[in-house]
Amino acid sequence: MSNPHEISLAVRDYECDLQGVVNNAVYMNYLEHARHEFLKDRGIDFAEVTRQGIHLVVVQAELDFRASLTSGDRFTVQTRFERDGRLRIVFHQQICRASDGKVMLEGRITATSLNEKGRPFVPEDLLARLA
């Protein structure tokens, strides 16, 4: 498994629902942003990869909600990567509240890449940069 990558974010008011907690769908945005930053940190530009005809896609998302973030909470998203077979890559992600380090969410996002014809493949040079 790769070394962890971490970003810091804060909850914005409009991300909360009527109950005053972050809406469950917003967590997917946090995780996606963190994965894109993880890629950038390793010299992989998501837009450039797409222009090259390589489409990185999520094929499965498993989220374990532990507790809720609320407006103004600061938090970190930690992302690690591992290969799962020949055609899949897995991002292990964790969201922790900054004030006390409490784990708010654990996620396992499985992805692959598709070529111009929509066939799954994972380029070796991409994998080498992820590690």
- Could you list the active site residues? 17
Q: Rounded distance, CA 45 to CA 61, Å?
A: 22
Helices within 12-123 (DSSP H only): 24-41, 46-51
Q: Residue 70 has what DSSP assignment?
A: B
Both structure tokens of 58: 């999520």
Both structure tokens of 24: 């469950």
Give the burial class of 82: count Cβ atoms within 10 A of its Cβ; 0-12 exposed, 13-18 middle, 19 or more buried.
Answer: middle
Cα–Cα distance list, 2 to 41, 82, 86, 102, 117 (Å)? 13, 6, 17, 22, 30
